[in-house]
Amino acid sequence: VKSSGGNETGKFGHPFGYGFLHEDINNSGDGGIYAELIQNRAFQYSRSFPVSTAHYFPINGASLSIQNLSEPLSKALPASLRVGGRSSGYSTGKIGFENEGYWGIGVSQQKYTGSFWVKGAYEGSFTASLQSNLTDDVFGSVEIKSKAVDGEWVEHEFELVPEKDAPNSNNTFAVTFDAAGTKKGYLDFNLISLFPPTYKNRKNGLRVDLAEALAEMNAHFLRFPGGNMLEGLTNDTYWDWKDTLGPLKERPGFQGVWGYQQTHGLGIMEYLEWAEDMDLQIVLAVWGGLALNGDVTPKEALQPFIDDALNEIEFVAGPADSTWGAKRAALGHPEPFELNYVEVGNEDWLAGYPGGWDSYREYRFQMFHDAIKAAHPDIQVIASSATSDGGGPDKALDFSKTADAIGDYHPYRRPDELVEEFDRFDNDIGHIVGEVAATHVNGGQEPRWDGPLYSYPWWQGAVGEAISLLGYERNSDRIPGTFYAPVMKNENRFQWPITLLQYAADPKMTTRAVTWYCWSLFAHSPISHTLPTTSNSSYGPLYWVSGRDDARNGALVWKGAVYNTTNSSTVPVSVHFQGVTPGTKASLTVLTNNARNTTLGDYSYNDPYTGVNIVNTETSEVRAGASGAFKFVL
Ligand code: AHR
């Protein structure tokens, strides 16, 4: 059998890339990779999520209330927290508030960096502490001399190093003060913030353990800011990148599309720095004129949004002396970020069907495409739909008028269906596979989305996914890469269970899913050029892709997987690279399921509550035999 594939040169100038889509779902941004520890730090609100004191609790009889002051901290943050008015029964000691964090706060002996803004005259000091929610234990605290004055918002910054680690994450962050030292008996607070050390020590940066897990996957791509999050719930509440710039007090927050208010702390600069710190190629998604409720921007009203997309591109990649490049430079990054991929909208075949999709096919995509190409001929423009079978009702985007564009395809599938993906792109135009995951088990309820997603990425799902990845990778002359989605889940915000990483406040919960190991293995063996293969067996149950990697001196790579759901037979494999002589050394890494003989068998997964990793990884040095072939068993 002569395999298809064998595309001598990838046109994208980099190896086929493994990466991820990020949007804030499952508290994967706030309460996730964005390292801020305080939940509801600035009393932000939106149409869907009213302002509240949620996640704050009074200390020593303080009364807590939301105020909308005539002189707020900023236009972006108009609500604040009034702390004072001790109720009867509490006559001594400092009053204040505590915040429970994102379902707890992990506390260890490291430097926490915090700040809060106060309005109202106060002579005295504040005490900021990290303390147990269960016992009287205070793990660390710091005194902060008041700079608070009448009629002005004053920022108080501090550092706090706990004297000991907390035994668990059931802890709070508290701020107290002496009400007797205040002029009015109360103080107004806003933007209460606390960060642990962050990934690469970025201010306003990423949570270290999650960022390290993503970086260690050796990913190549970051697609952002969604997903559904980009689209927004309505046409006037989409993820507007301009709202995410600059000091946190100028960021109004975002009416999230996944059931919670977002801070906008993880803004466009933070995404760009994330990509830079992990050396990731960016796929920047620009808003395309369609919201999740089906609001469509008519043709005659679209130009301002196209201009806005061009401004956003200039902000990311324009020179420091361009209008928007200068704003980026002012935020500390004069060097343009590398930007090769821009996607217009997200899943435009889905929301607002048929009007949303018709408008995309008829004018929206082309208008954006033409404008972006005119200004940036080298950027690869991506449509948010596939040529066919994108999973929606009618998806055949006609690429004839935008022939240099590629599509985006999102197979959330069963393992059996992902195996069928293997030759999906053998005769198609280019696409990114902008979201892919095994989400539903084989044989489940029809249609797929009427049934539940499985609890966590599981072994059989990961193997099905691996076959689809092999299929995409062997078409890498037209497919620059694949993106796992969604990427992370806080175990306390259960919306979409199938994610690469799971975690909670307690770092011990951080878990790399089964599928992380597959993606990581493939991502650690990049192929810059696929090579043709011949075989005496057809594809199935063994599937493969082969190639060489010019960045590693032409190293030869074979990647394969066995998908065998009907019996447990192993498959002998013999791989002979043309020109490789007997005795040549290779490194062989094989993943197997350690739990295949347990009750869950092929449905086993890495469970954050047990911490057991079911993926067995074995790496060995092997040598080509007398025939020049490497022989092993999968
Ligand atoms: O990844 C979860 C969602 O799935 C994304 O927001 C959307 O693009 C897709 O439908």
d(CA 572, CA 38): 54
Q: Write down the ipTM of this complex.
A: 0.99
Burial of 373 (0-12, 13-18, 19+ CB in 10 A): middle
d(CA 483, CA 221): 7
CATH number of the domain residue 264 falls in? 3.20.20.80
Task: Using the mean position of ligand 1's atoms as its centre, give its distance from the Cα of residue 47 in Å.
Answer: 22
Question: Does residue 250 share a domain with residue 191?
Answer: no
Question: Does residue 147 share a domain with residue 290?
Answer: no
Burial of 33 (0-12, 13-18, 19+ CB in 10 A): buried
Q: What is the pLDDT of residues 551-603, one digit of tens each?
A: 999 999 999 999 998 887 899 999 999 999 999 999 999 999 999 999 999 99
Question: Does residue 177 share a domain with residue 93?
Answer: yes
Count of other CB atoms within 10 angstroms of residue 78? 20
Strands 555-562 and 542-549 come out as antiparallel
d(CA 68, CA 64): 13
Categorise residue 101: left if φ over 0, alpha if ψ from -120 to 50, beta otherwise: left
What one-letter code names the amino acid at 325? G
Angle of helix 303-317 versus helix 323-330 axis, rounded to 10: 50
The string over 285-315, giving b where at least 16 C-beta atoms fall within 10 Å of a residue's C-beta and e elsewhere, is bbbbbbbbeebbbeeeebeebbeebbbbbbb
- Asked if the structure places residue 394 within a domain, the reply is no
Closest CA to 154 of 126, 189, 124, 181: 189
| Dihedral over Cα of 364, 365, 366, 369: its sign | positive
Task: Using the mean position of ligand 1's atoms as its centre, give its distance from the Cα of residue 208 in Å.
Answer: 25
Residue that finishes a domain, picked among 384, 401, 431: 384
Looking at residue 166, its pLDDT comes to 98
What atom in ligand 1 is closest to the CA of residue 486? Answer: 1
Question: Does residue 177 share a domain with residue 324?
Answer: no
Quick one: what percent of the chain has pLDDT higher than 70?
A: 96
- Asked if the structure places residue 528 within a domain, the reply is no
Q: What is the pLDDT of residues 313-330, one digit of tens each?
A: 999 999 999 999 999 999
Taking 90 as the threshold, does the pLDDT of residue 12 lie above it? Answer: no
d(CA 365, CA 350): 15
Strands 431-438 and 407-408 come out as parallel
Task: Using the mean position of ligand 1's atoms as its centre, give its distance from the Cα of residue 27 in Å.
Answer: 14
Question: Does residue 68 share a domain with residue 119?
Answer: yes
Quick one: what percent of the chain has pLDDT higher than 90?
A: 90
Residue among 21, 343, 395, 439 whose CB has most ligand 1 atoms within 8 A, to mutate: 21
Looking at residue 87, its pLDDT comes to 65
Looking at residue 29, its pLDDT comes to 98
Task: Using the mean position of ligand 1's atoms as its centre, give its distance from the Cα of residue 540 in Å.
Answer: 30
Residue that finishes a domain, picked among 354, 384, 414: 384
Question: Does residue 158 share a domain with residue 246?
Answer: no
Q: What is the pLDDT of residues 133-156, one digit of tens each?
A: 999 999 999 999 999 999 999 999
Q: What is the pLDDT of residues 192-205, one digit of tens each?
A: 999 999 999 999 99
Task: Using the mean position of ligand 1's atoms as its centre, give its distance from the Cα of residue 23 in Å.
Answer: 9
Atom 8 of ligand 1, nearest CA residue: 227
Please, are residues 20 and 218 in contact by the beta-carbon 8 Å criterion?
A: no
Question: Does residue 333 share a domain with residue 225?
Answer: yes
Question: Does residue 252 share a domain with residue 186?
Answer: no
Could you give the dihedral angle defined by the CA atoms of residues 351, 356, 362 and 368, in that order, rounded to the nearest 10 degrees? -70
For 373, the 3-state DSSP assignment is: helix
State residue 631 phi and psi, 5-degree precision.
-115, 135
Contacts of 180 (CB under 8 A, 6+ apart): none
Taking 70 as the threshold, does the pLDDT of residue 515 lie above it? Answer: yes
- The shares of helix, strand and coil residues in the chain, as percent rounded to the nearest 5, are 20, 30, 50
- Asked if the structure places residue 247 within a domain, the reply is yes
Question: Does residue 233 share a domain with residue 164?
Answer: no
Question: Does residue 235 share a domain with residue 151?
Answer: no
Element holding 7 (H helix, E strand): none
Looking at residue 2, its pLDDT comes to 46
For 376, the 3-state DSSP assignment is: coil
- Asked if the structure places residue 440 within a domain, the reply is no
Residue among 25, 230, 347 whose CB has most ligand 1 atoms within 8 A, to mutate: 347
Looking at residue 190, its pLDDT comes to 98
Task: Using the mean position of ligand 1's atoms as its centre, give its distance from the Cα of residue 343 in Å.
Answer: 15
Atom 3 of ligand 1, nearest CA residue: 227
Task: Using the mean position of ligand 1's atoms as its centre, give its distance from the Cα of residue 25 in Å.
Answer: 9
The string over 547-572, giving b where at least 16 C-beta atoms fall within 10 Å of a residue's C-beta and e elsewhere, is bbbeeeeebbbbbbbbbbeeeeeeee
Q: What is the pLDDT of residues 470-506, one digit of tens each?
A: 999 999 999 999 999 999 999 999 899 999 999 999 9
Q: Look up the domain containing 249 and give its range.
A: 220-384
Residue among 229, 258, 346, 409 whose CB has most ligand 1 atoms within 8 A, to mutate: 346
d(CA 400, CA 405): 9
What atom in ligand 1 is closest to the CA of residue 346? Answer: 8
Encoded tokens for 28: 């994967």
d(CA 115, CA 73): 14
Prior bond of 354 cis (ω within 30°): yes
What atom in ligand 1 is closest to the CA of residue 228? Answer: 6
Looking at residue 92, its pLDDT comes to 74
Provide mean pLDDT across the span 384-404: 76
Question: Does residue 379 share a domain with residue 243?
Answer: yes
Q: What is the pLDDT of residues 341-385, one digit of tens each?
A: 999 999 999 998 889 999 999 999 999 999 999 999 999 999 999
Looking at residue 427, its pLDDT comes to 86
Task: Using the mean position of ligand 1's atoms as its centre, give its distance from the Cα of residue 185 in Å.
Answer: 49
d(CA 71, CA 559): 62
d(CA 232, CA 240): 9
Atom 9 of ligand 1, nearest CA residue: 227
Task: Using the mean position of ligand 1's atoms as its centre, give its distance from the Cα of residue 434 in Å.
Answer: 10
Number of folded domains that form the chain: 3
Taking 60 as the threshold, does the pLDDT of residue 8 lie above it? Answer: no
- Asked if the structure places residue 491 within a domain, the reply is no
- Asked if the structure places residue 264 within a domain, the reply is yes
Residue among 26, 228, 487 whose CB has most ligand 1 atoms within 8 A, to mutate: 228
Atom 7 of ligand 1, nearest CA residue: 227
Question: Does residue 274 share a domain with residue 177?
Answer: no
What atom in ligand 1 is closest to the CA of residue 350? Answer: 10
Please provide the average confidence, as pLDDT, over all residues in the chain.
95
Let me know how many helices (H) and strands (E) the chain has, helices first. Answer: 10, 31
Looking at residue 1, its pLDDT comes to 47
For 299, the 3-state DSSP assignment is: helix
- Asked if the structure places residue 169 within a domain, the reply is yes
What atom in ligand 1 is closest to the CA of residue 412? Answer: 4
What atom in ligand 1 is closest to the CA of residue 485? Answer: 1
Give residues (CB < 6 A) around ligand 1: 23, 25, 226-228, 346-347, 410, 435, 485-486, 496
CATH number of the domain residue 105 falls in? 2.60.120.260
- Asked if the structure places residue 398 within a domain, the reply is no
Residue that finishes a domain, picked among 357, 384, 411: 384
Categorise residue 227: left if φ over 0, alpha if ψ from -120 to 50, beta otherwise: left
